Amino acid sequence: MTDTVFGKIIRGEIPCNKVYEDEKVLAFLDINPLAEGHVLVVPKEAAETLDLLSDESAAAIGRVLPRLCRAVVAATGVKEYNVLENNGQGAHQAVPHVHFHIIPKPNSREGLGIGWPARGLEREAAASLARRIAGAIA
Ligand code: 5GP
């Protein structure tokens, strides 16, 4: 696991606009927000992608994420928002340390823009795929 800018922020080596901290989680304002109130929620555990994160850190993130969303809504007055978590460069992850974005969506110009190239689901292939994924859950 390489050190990242978020590791440096967690260790206090570089500053951030902190909004929340507990034993396992740190949350702060994104330095290049897509909208006012864009917050990053980061486990202190240095896992690169979500599939590598421990259950303990995942639980700590899950416990606090809705509370942080409520706080962002209350502080910005913007009721609509996206929660985004990118994994891997090809999936737009720039910092290889797990982080959840909370991104207010005040209007059609600001906030997250989403491409959603949906396609159909073939019945038999879907059943087989669902079985494969279910069987792979550790
Ligand atoms: P990703 O594309 O990896 O999901 O998002 C990384 C995010 O981290 C970007 O939105 C970027 O603006 C933010 N970011 C990168 N470096 C820093 C930094 O030094 N401080 C803060 N607060 N945010 C950062």
- CATH number, domain of 112, equals 3.30.428.10
CB of 22 within 8 A of CB of 55? no
Cβ of 49 below 6 Å from ligand 1: no
Nearest Cα to 18, choosing from 47, 42, 34?
42
- Over residues 43-74, the pLDDT tens digits come to 999 999 999 999 999 999 999 999 999 999 99
- Over residues 10-40, the pLDDT tens digits come to 999 999 999 999 999 999 999 999 999 999 9
Res 2 pLDDT > 80: no
- Over residues 84-126, the pLDDT tens digits come to 999 999 999 999 999 999 999 999 999 999 999 999 999 999 9
Round to whole Å and give the CA distance between 132 and 34. 37
How much distance in Å is there from the Cα of 31 to the middle of ligand 1?
6
Q: What is the per-residue pLDDT for 39?
A: 99
Mean of pLDDT over the chain: 97
Range of the domain at 14: 5-136
Q: What is the per-residue pLDDT for 13?
A: 97
Helix spans in the chain (H): 5-10, 55-76, 123-136
Per the structure, the count of domains in the chain is 1
Does the pTM surpass 0.95? The reply is: yes
Cβ of 90 below 6 Å from ligand 1: no
CB atoms within 10 A of CB 108: 7
Res 1 pLDDT > 70: no
